[in-house]
Amino acid sequence: MSPIPLSEITLDDLLPHRGNMLLVSEILEVDASKARTRCTVDPSWPMANEQGVHPLILIELAAQTAGVCNGWDRIQTKGIDSDQMGWLVGVKKADFFIDSLPFGATVTASAESAYSFENLREMSCEIHLDGQLIGKATLQLFQQTNS
């Protein structure tokens, strides 16, 4: 199978998230082992209040960025119409360096595969707000297989 260029793949092809649960708005780079995404903090996001968005949302942003990487790998190896089964995500470690994410701020997230075996993957993630590191997470992702 020849590689499908990013210009022919949408976020809907890569991620199962829709509506205000889709935090990623742009893919900056992606391959089978890493991804980097961008988004803008929005009042419609979960955990938003008058001051901004609770930093716990960084876990979901990291998970969606890891999901972009996993979706890319799935599409490149199994095709764009392959089963878009989600991944169960566990948080091995997370550190937040901000109290609240301000509305309108630009957030970039990176996720890189640190370990992969069959349908288990560990991803190291970093999240930046306007260029400053605001969070780090190590996620463990597991995908059920159809058997």
Within 8 A by CB and 6+ apart from 49, the residues are none
Domains and their CATH numbers in the chain: 6-142 (3.10.129.10)
Q: What is the pLDDT of residues 20-70, one digit of tens each?
A: 888 999 999 999 899 999 999 999 999 999 999 999 999 999 999 999 998
Q: pTM of this prediction?
A: 0.91
The predicted pLDDT at position 146 comes to 64
Q: What is the pLDDT of residues 6-30, one digit of tens each?
A: 888 888 888 878 888 889 999 999 9
The predicted pLDDT at position 1 comes to 62
Within 8 A by CB and 6+ apart from 90, the residues are 139, 140, 141, 142
Q: 56 vs 81, 120, 121, CA distance in Å? A: 32, 23, 21
The predicted pLDDT at position 16 comes to 78
Q: 27 vs 14, 21, 53, CA distance in Å? A: 10, 16, 22
Checking if the pLDDT of 145 tops 90, the result is no
Question: Is 123 in contact with 114 (CB distance < 8 Å)?
Answer: yes
Checking if the pLDDT of 104 tops 70, the result is yes
